[in-house]
């Protein structure tokens, strides 16, 4: 840990900070602010109450208006700090408001109603973390259902992607056959076709296969990725052919060679592809939007969109949902990234 | 315990001819070394025997049965690769068990076989390690162990010692010889190092450019090489070659005038006089260990040369000599130690009995010795 700290606080100047240090730190902090600022803002905002979100000027920390229970009223009443005509300041609860005049009440003396011009008062705020944004979310809008749909599509599509792409890469890297180069070039060439171009043909295929409004309709078109095939093929080319020959002498079938020799040795590249695939599938919006039109099949991304599209947007829930949507990708990246570096480091065979 | 026979093996990659009409026979339990310079096709030949590479033409006969169309796994051979080809993600134990698991061997038997092999190769304490945690010699032993547990009909070695340092190579050489004596299983051993072939093999097959140059026991190849290539390839340091012209023929053999010496040197060799006409250019070959440092000049069969360099190794040594009027050089091996220094002249005796004479015709075949002269 001291090593890491020393590395992070390393400077170019020996005793004092050099101007290059100032410059690089300034650059790094600007970068940090630009990248991390919006994410942090979303996370903080997701803990704000509905009214806290609409406050102006906006606050960084989640403040909420204080409220109080006053005898004779069922709902809790919001508290205001009111400047009285005599110059004193009192804390009053708002009973109702008509136009520019609010009828206020002193929580201590519930009988007395005080008319107050709304210019003379300001909200009494307190730091309040609105965890109900999250807890209530699970009851609302069958959030659990969307989460499951997203997880199912991501996990299943990633597994199938890894399997199919590695099989294609194995054949293209380890077998010599007529047309091998052509097949490889055809696969790579599809990288040049923008997904929007094949949106309609894909839709027609899925529609005719009867996969519309099915999670599999989202999964199947996504599992064969040229990027994945290319990535894995290039990695498999580095596995020495002698290993495969040795396995053949060891009575291994071609399937066993793939499954027990090539696949384990490709683990670092598979981890990279897994990260990509998880991010692609989890963040995918356009294709699921086209295939899935029944709301119980929505993924989180679609639900976020639908949620916003209603007459009134409940921003506090929307933000909480956004945060939940970001978390898995962040976790996957954080953990598998470590796996990649160790994987590449330990694969230095020979 | 198996016999192997190759009949007229041809191998082409596209238009490139890699092997041409190879015939080879390995008797039961025989240690056969395939030796030749790099690119001569010896590894390809081994891969053809193993079944990893198909032949273009010819027959592979194992135990009397044609196995051309039998897959590598079904031939029942085991191969040790140059890079060892150990599975990096498996432990030593798993590496050795992989082949047995694939044939459906019961667990208890796998354990017993690996235990035996590990004891034999001193791998007992390494069984749970991974190949990356082993030294070169240990990896080599694991590769051999993986071959042993399969109980193969034949062992195939593809330059197994070329990745080891000199000391370890000598040690592993001894271990493989000991292994061969204990298992009595036939071995086909590919190497480019003629010393390995000479010390280990019962039979050596010398290959050049996809063709067999000569087959025989190590001493046959050493004593009577059939052509100049084999003569130059077998033996260390290399045989000396001197250009010569036939100046006389009689019942005792040929008289040759050697090129490049001052004064002119001639030598009588016991070669069948019918083999070369008067005035024919030939190549005289004599091994460094057969040249002798002579006392005085002028004696028959002697030449005078200048010393370019002396290598003293204590027990024996080498003199590198330059010929006065030729760019060829001679290497002489001497026993013990000598006082001569670079720059001095020395008289060498060329014993006629140790001479080999090669034609300069295509293939440079050896001229037959005079009948009865040996």
Instruction: Note whether A243 contacts B: Cβ–Cβ < 8 A.
Output: yes
Fold exhibited by the domain B4-233:
Rossmann fold (3.40.50)
Instruction: Note whether A239 contacts B: Cβ–Cβ < 8 A.
Output: no
CATH number of the domain that A117 lies in? 2.30.30
Whether residues A250 and B98 touch (CB distance < 8 A) is answered with yes
Helix (H, G, I), strand (E, B) or coil at A233: helix
Both tokens of B309, joined, read: 């360099």
**Across the interface, which of A245, A253, A256 has its CB nearest the CB of B85?**
A245
Instruction: Note whether A241 contacts B: Cβ–Cβ < 8 A.
Output: no
Work out the average pLDDT over A284-303.
90
| Residue position matching structure tokens 């340092």 | B165
pLDDT at B264 over 70: yes
Percent of chain A past pLDDT 90, that is, above it, reads 34
Instruction: Note whether A245 contacts B: Cβ–Cβ < 8 A.
Output: yes
Give me the pLDDT at residue A341, please. Answer: 62
Residue A203 lies in a domain: yes
**Across the interface, which of A243, A245, A349 has its CB nearest the CB of B132?**
A349
Chain B nearest CA to A218, separation (Å): 35
Mutate to test the interface with A, among B78, B82, B102 (most CBs of A within 10 A): B102
Confidence of residue A347 (pLDDT cuts 50, 70, 90): very low
Give me the pLDDT at residue A98, please. Answer: 82
**Across the interface, which of A242, A251, A349 has its CB nearest the CB of B102?**
A251
Quick one: which of B72, B205, B226 has its CA closest to B150? B72
| B368 DSSP 8-state letter | P
B264 touches B257 (CB < 8 A) = yes
Give me the pLDDT at residue A136, please. Answer: 80
Residue A60 lies in a domain: no
Residues from chain A that touch B47, judged by Cβ atoms under 8 A, are 245
Give me the pLDDT at residue A311, please. Answer: 61
Strands B281-286 and B356-359 come out as antiparallel
pLDDT at B106 over 90: yes
Q: Is the dihedral of CA A237, A242, A247, A251 positive or negative?
A: positive
Which is more confident, B356 or A126? B356
A206 shares its domain with A295: yes
Which is more confident, A268 or B80? B80
pLDDT digits (tens, 9 = 90+) for A105-115: 887 777 778 88
Whether residues A251 and B88 touch (CB distance < 8 A) is answered with no
pLDDT digits (tens, 9 = 90+) for B22-59: 999 999 999 999 999 988 999 999 999 999 999 999 99
A263 shares its domain with A174: yes
* Mean of per-residue pLDDT scores for chain A: 84
pLDDT at A337 over 50: yes
Residue A160 lies in a domain: yes
Residues from chain A that touch B150, judged by Cβ atoms under 8 A, are 250
pLDDT digits (tens, 9 = 90+) for B76-97: 899 999 888 999 999 999 999 9
| Contact residues for A234 (Cβ-Cβ < 8 A; gap 6+) | A173, A269
Helix (H, G, I), strand (E, B) or coil at A150: helix
Instruction: Note whether A349 contacts B: Cβ–Cβ < 8 A.
Output: yes
pLDDT at A315 over 50: yes
pLDDT at A168 over 90: yes
| Contact residues for B11 (Cβ-Cβ < 8 A; gap 6+) | B17, B18, B19, B41, B44, B45, B48, B53, B55, B56, B210
Distance between CA atoms of residues A161 and A219, nearest Å: 9
Distance from chain centroid for Cα B56: 26
Quick one: which of B273, B203, B229 has its CA closest to B30? B203
Q: So where are chain B's domains?
A: 4-233, 240-359
A170 shares its domain with A270: yes
pLDDT digits (tens, 9 = 90+) for B324-347: 777 788 999 999 888 888 888 888
A271 shares its domain with A244: yes
**Across the interface, which of B73, B131, B150 has its CB nearest the CB of A248?**
B73
Residue A129 lies in a domain: no
Nearest CA in chain A to B158: A242
Distance between CA atoms of residues A180 and A170, nearest Å: 12
Residues from chain B that touch A242, judged by Cβ atoms under 8 A, are 81-83, 85
**Across the interface, which of B77, B78, B85 has its CB nearest the CB of A242?**
B85
| Residue position matching structure tokens 């072939």 | B197
| Residue position matching structure tokens 């959030």 | A143
Number of domains in chain A: 3
Residue A307 lies in a domain: yes
* Mean of per-residue pLDDT scores for chain B: 89
CATH of B240-359, picked from 2.40.50.140, 2.40.37.10, 3.20.20.150, 3.40.50.1000, is: 2.40.50.140
pLDDT at A340 over 70: no
Confidence of residue B186 (pLDDT cuts 50, 70, 90): very high
Residues from chain A that touch B83, judged by Cβ atoms under 8 A, are 240, 242, 350
A172 touches A188 (CB < 8 A) = no
Whether residues B78 and A349 touch (CB distance < 8 A) is answered with no
Confidence of residue A339 (pLDDT cuts 50, 70, 90): low
Number of neighbouring beta carbons within 10 Å of residue B51:
25
Confidence of residue A349 (pLDDT cuts 50, 70, 90): very low
pLDDT at B68 over 50: yes
B310 touches B264 (CB < 8 A) = no
Chain B nearest CA to A338, separation (Å): 19
Residue A104 lies in a domain: yes
Domain B4-233 matches domain B240-359 at the CATH topology level: no
Instruction: Note whether A265 contacts B: Cβ–Cβ < 8 A.
Output: yes
A25 CB-side CA count, 13 A: 12
Number of CB pairs < 8 Å for A and B? 64
Both tokens of A60, joined, read: 């960084």
Work out the average pLDDT over A231-253.
91
Alpha-helical segments (H) within chain B: 42-50, 92-102, 107-120, 136-148, 166-183, 194-200, 218-223, 228-233
Question: What spatial distance separates the first Cα and last Cα of chain A, rounded to whole Å?
Answer: 32
CATH number of the domain that A181 lies in? 1.10.3720.10
Which is more confident, B260 or B77? B77
Cα separation values, B272 from A74, B172, B259, B350, B372, Å: 131, 44, 21, 19, 10
Q: Of A88-97, A265-274, B80-89, which range is least confident?
A: A88-97
Instruction: Note whether A260 contacts B: Cβ–Cβ < 8 A.
Output: yes
Residue A51 lies in a domain: no
Residue A295 lies in a domain: yes
A204 shares its domain with A334: yes
Give me the pLDDT at residue A346, please. Answer: 46
Work out the average pLDDT over B72-76.
88
Length of chain A: 350
Domain stop point among A76, A96, A123: A123
pLDDT digits (tens, 9 = 90+) for B230-248: 999 998 889 999 989 998 8
A217 shares its domain with A338: yes
Work out the average pLDDT over A5-15.
75
Distance between CA atoms of residues B278 and A346, nearest Å: 70
A140 shares its domain with A171: yes
Whether residues B88 and A349 touch (CB distance < 8 A) is answered with yes
pLDDT digits (tens, 9 = 90+) for A142-163: 788 888 999 999 999 999 999 9
pLDDT digits (tens, 9 = 90+) for B299-325: 778 888 889 999 999 999 999 998 877
**Across the interface, which of B88, B89, B103 has its CB nearest the CB of A251?**
B103
Number of neighbouring beta carbons within 10 Å of residue B348:
21
pLDDT at A81 over 60: yes
A37 shares its domain with A90: no
Work out the average pLDDT over B170-179.
90
Residues from chain B that touch A174, judged by Cβ atoms under 8 A, are none
Question: What spatial distance separates the first Cα and last Cα of chain B, rounded to whole Å?
Answer: 36
Distance between CA atoms of residues B293 and A251, nearest Å: 59
Instruction: Note whether A249 contacts B: Cβ–Cβ < 8 A.
Output: yes
Whether residues A349 and B146 touch (CB distance < 8 A) is answered with no
Strand partners, B66: B61
pLDDT at B297 over 80: no
Residues from chain B that touch A343, judged by Cβ atoms under 8 A, are none
Work out the average pLDDT over A131-143.
77
Nearest CA in chain B to A241: B85
Confidence of residue A141 (pLDDT cuts 50, 70, 90): low
Compute chain B's Rg from CA coordinates: 25
B138 touches B123 (CB < 8 A) = yes
Chain A nearest CA to B281, separation (Å): 48
Work out the average pLDDT over B261-286.
85
Residues from chain B that touch A246, judged by Cβ atoms under 8 A, are 79, 81, 85-87, 146
Strand partners, B82: none
Instruction: Note whether A98 contacts B: Cβ–Cβ < 8 A.
Output: no
Nearest CA in chain A to B78: A249
Helix (H, G, I), strand (E, B) or coil at A80: strand
Domain that holds residue A173: 136-346
Quick one: which of B237, B341, B334, B253 has its CA closest to B301? B253
A288 shares its domain with A313: yes
**Across the interface, which of A248, A264, A267 has its CB nearest the CB of B72?**
A248
| Contact residues for A241 (Cβ-Cβ < 8 A; gap 6+) | A174
Quick one: which of B115, B120, B77 has its CA closest to B96? B115
| Residues on chain B bordering chain A, Cβ-to-Cβ distance under 8 angstroms | 47, 50, 52, 71-73, 77-79, 81-83, 85-89, 98-99, 102-103, 131-132, 146, 150
Give me the pLDDT at residue A1, please. Answer: 55
A251 shares its domain with A113: no
Quick one: which of A122, A150, A161 has its CA closest to A270? A161
A100 shares its domain with A162: no
**Across the interface, which of A242, A267, A347 has its CB nearest the CB of B83?**
A242
A38 shares its domain with A105: no
Instruction: Note whether A311 contacts B: Cβ–Cβ < 8 A.
Output: no
pLDDT at A348 over 60: no
Whether residues A250 and B132 touch (CB distance < 8 A) is answered with no
């Amino acid at each position: 840990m001291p090593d890491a700290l020393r590395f992070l606080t390393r400077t170019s100047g020996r005793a004092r900070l050099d101007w290059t240090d100032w410059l690089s730190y300034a650059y790094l902090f600007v970068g940090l602010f630009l990248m991390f600022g919006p994410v942090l803002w979303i996370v903080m905002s997701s803990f704000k109450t509905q009214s806290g979100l609409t406050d102006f000027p906006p606050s960084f920390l989640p403040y909420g208006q204080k409220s109080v229970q006053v005898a004779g009223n069922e709902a809790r009443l919001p508290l205001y700090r009111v400047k009285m005509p005599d110059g004193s300041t009192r804390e009053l609860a708002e009973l109702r408001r008509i136009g520019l005049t609010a009828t206020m009440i002193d929580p201590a003396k519930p009988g007395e109603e005080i008319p107050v011009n709304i210019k003379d008062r300001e909200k009494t705020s307190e730091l309040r973390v609105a965890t109900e944004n999250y807890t209530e979310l699970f009851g609302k809008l069958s959030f659990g259902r969307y989460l499951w749909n997203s997880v199912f599509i991501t996990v299943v599509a990633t597994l199938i992607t890894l399997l199919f792409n590695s099989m294609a890469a194995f054949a293209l890297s380890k077998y010599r056959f007529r047309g091998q180069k052509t097949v490889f070039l055809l696969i790579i060439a599809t990288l040049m076709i923008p997904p929007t171009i094949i949106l309609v043909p894909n839709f027609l295929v899925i529609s005719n296969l009867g996969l519309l409004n099915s999670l599999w309709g989202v999964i199947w078109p996504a599992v064969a990725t040229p990027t994945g095939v290319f990535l894995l093929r290039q990695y498999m080319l580095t596995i020495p052919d002698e290993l495969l020959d040795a396995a053949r002498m060891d009575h291994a079938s071609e399937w066993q060679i793939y499954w027990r020799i090539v696949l384990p040795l490709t683990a670092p590249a598979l981890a990279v592809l897994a990260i990509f695939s998880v991010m692609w599938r989890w963040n995918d919006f356009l294709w699921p939007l086209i295939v899935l039109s029944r709301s119980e099949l929505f993924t989180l991304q679609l639900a976020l969109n639908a949620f916003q599209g209603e007459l009134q947007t409940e921003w506090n829930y929307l933000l909480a949902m956004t945060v939940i949507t970001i978390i898995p990708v962040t976790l996957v990246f954080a953990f598998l990234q470590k796996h990649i570096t160790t994987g590449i480091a330990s694969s230095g065979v020979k | 315990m198996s016999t192997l026979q190759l009949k007229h093996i041809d191998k082409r990659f596209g238009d490139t001819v890699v092997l041409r009409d190879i015939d080879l026979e390995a008797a039961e339990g025989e240690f056969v070394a395939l030796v030749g310079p790099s690119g001569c096709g010896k590894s390809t030949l081994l891969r053809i025997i193993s079944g990893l590479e198909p032949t273009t033409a010819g027959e592979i006969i194992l135990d009397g049965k044609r196995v051309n169309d039998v897959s590598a796994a079904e031939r029942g051979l085991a191969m040790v690769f140059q890079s060892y080809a150990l599975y990096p993600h498996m432990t030593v134990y798993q590496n050795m068990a992989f082949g047995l698991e694939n044939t459906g061997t019961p667990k208890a038997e796998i354990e017993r076989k690996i235990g035996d092999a590990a004891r034999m190769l001193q791998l007992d304490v390494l069984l749970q390690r991974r190949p990356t945690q082993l030294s070169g010699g240990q990896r080599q032993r694991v590769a051999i162990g993986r071959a042993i547990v399969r109980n193969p009909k034949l062992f195939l070695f593809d330059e197994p010692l070329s990745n080891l340092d000199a000391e370890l190579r000598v040690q592993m050489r001894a271990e493989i010889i000991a292994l061969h004596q204990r298992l009595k299983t036939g071995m086909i051993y590919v190497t480019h190092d003629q010393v390995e072939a000479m010390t280990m093999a019962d039979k050596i097959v010398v290959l050049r450019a996809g063709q067999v140059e000569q087959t025989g026991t190590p001493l046959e190849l050493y004593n009577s090489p059939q052509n100049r290539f084999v003569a130059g390839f077998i033996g260390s340091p290399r045989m000396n070659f001197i250009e010569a012209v036939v100046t006389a023929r009689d019942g005792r053999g040929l008289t040759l005038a050697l090129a490049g010496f001052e004064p002119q040197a001639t030598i009588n060799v016991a070669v069948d006089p019918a083999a070369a006409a008067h005035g024919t250019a030939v190549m005289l070959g004599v091994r460094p260990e057969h040249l002798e440092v002579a006392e005085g000049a002028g004696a028959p069969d002697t030449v005078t040369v200048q010393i370019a360099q002396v290598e003293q190794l204590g027990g024996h040594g080498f003199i590198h000599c330059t010929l006065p009027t030729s760019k060829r050089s001679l290497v002489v091996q001497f026993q013990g130690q000598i006082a001569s220094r670079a720059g001095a002249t020395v008289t060498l005796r060329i014993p006629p009995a140790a001479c080999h004479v090669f034609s300069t015709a295509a293939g440079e075949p050896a001229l037959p010795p005079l009948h009865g002269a040996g």
